[in-house]
Amino acid sequence: MTVIMDKTSTQAAAPGTGARVDERTRQLLEGPIAPTLLRLATPNVLVMLMQASVGLIETYFVAKLGTDALAGVALVFPVLMLSDRRRNLVRHRPRWVPTDATMRMLPRAR
């Protein structure tokens, strides 16, 4: 369904409905693109900077323990990331991952 915004009112010109559009939604649809993107991206950028800084700080402290400890972390890190991704995939199953029930409903290949 396409919603056409009227510039003079907050009424949405959707077919068959007289629904009002929230001011925040209207600002997203009609506001300038660059400030809106910056406003929406700022929390994500801050979290990514914090995660990167935590990784650097952890590496600094492990490096103080010596090269053997740093090599151990380097060996374990890929396995840790793979297990973390697998756990998150199971916990937050995307819609495109079929469940067992949907797989049983699909016709079998002949």
Three-state secondary structure call for residue 108: coil
Beta bridge partners of 20: 11
pLDDT, tens digit, 9 for 90 and up, residues 32-47: 999 999 999 999 999 9
Contact criterion met (CB below 8 Å) for 14 and 1? yes
Q: What is the mean pLDDT of residues 53-72?
A: 92
Place of tokens 């660059």: 34
Place of tokens 């929230």: 22
Q: pTM of the predicted model, to two decimals? A: 0.52
Report whether pLDDT(12) > 50: no
Q: Which pLDDT band holds residue 57 (cuts at 50, 70, 90)?
A: very high
Phi, psi of 5 (to 5 degrees): -90, 135
In whole angstroms, give the CA distance from residue 89 to residue 92. 5
Runs of H (alpha helix) within the chain: 23-30, 33-65, 67-91, 100-105
Contact criterion met (CB below 8 Å) for 66 and 74? no
